[in-house]
Amino acid sequence: MLGQARHASLGPTGSRTASAYIFGAICPAQGKGAGLVLPRCTTQAMNENLKEISQAVAPGAHAVLLLDRAGWHVSRKLKVPANITLLLPAKAPELNPVENIWQHIRENWLSNRIFTSYGDILDHCCAAWNKLTDQPWTIMSIGLREWAHQ
């Protein structure tokens, strides 16, 4: 029939029954990152992420994390290590350099693909994060904010 709408797919299609989340932080000045791939976004997952970040912070240094106000970022059950400060600017994702990192990871390593299993999802997420951290110049160029270093 003329004029009848059809569904057109511009990329691979598949069922979305499983997911994983990359938790990560970057140090744009050093071109370094610390991250975990986890099955859920929860306070427990965020606590694991904070431990990972705390261990990656250089001795005597302090990490400042810019976060949105997701429930797992503002929970009273968070255990924030002494070498980390959490900042929660309201409705200002443009302040957070890691937002551009997520976009870069999606565009370059995770988009337009069908994952064969949950293990495949985990493998691709870990590989994407590892590719990023193997490219300190990418972290520096995407993540550096002049206002943060003045």
Q: Half-sphere exposure of 22 toward its Cβ, with a 13 Å CA cutoff?
A: 27
- Please tell me the predicted confidence (pLDDT) of residue 97: 86
Query: What is the DSSP secondary-structure string of 29-79?
Result: TTTEEEEEEES--SHHHHHHHHHHHHHHSPTT--EEEE----HHHH-TT--
Q: What is the pTM of this model?
A: 0.82
The CATH number of domain 21-144, selected from 1.10.3470, 3.30.420, 1.10.1060, 2.60.40:
3.30.420
Evaluate whether 33 touches 132 at the Cβ level (below 8 Å).
Answer: yes
Residues of the chain with pLDDT under 70: 1-16, 147-150
Domains of the chain, by residue range, sit at: 21-144
